Amino acid sequence: MSSQFHADYFFDLSSFAHSALFKDTEFVWEVFARFERYFKTQTLGNIEVDIPPGVTLENKELISIGKGTTLEAGAFIRGPCVIGPHNSIRHGAYIRGNVITGAKCVIGHATEVKDAIFLDGAHAAHLSYVGNSILGKEVNLGAGVKCANLKFDDSAVSVKVDGQKISTGLRKLGAIIGDGSELGCNSVTNPGTLIGKGVFWYPGINFGGFVPHQSIVRSQTEVSVLPQQQART
Active site residues: 126
CA dist., res. 62 & res. 72, Å (int): 20
Q: What residue type is assigned to position 149 of the chain? A: N
Q: Across the strands, what pairs with 206?
A: 188
CA dist., res. 8 & res. 117, Å (int): 15
The DSSP code sequence of 96-109 is -SSEEE-SS-EEEE
**Are the CB atoms for 155 and 170 separated by under 8 Å?**
no
Q: For residue 230, what is the enclosing H or E element?
A: helix 228-231
CA dist., res. 97 & res. 132, Å (int): 11
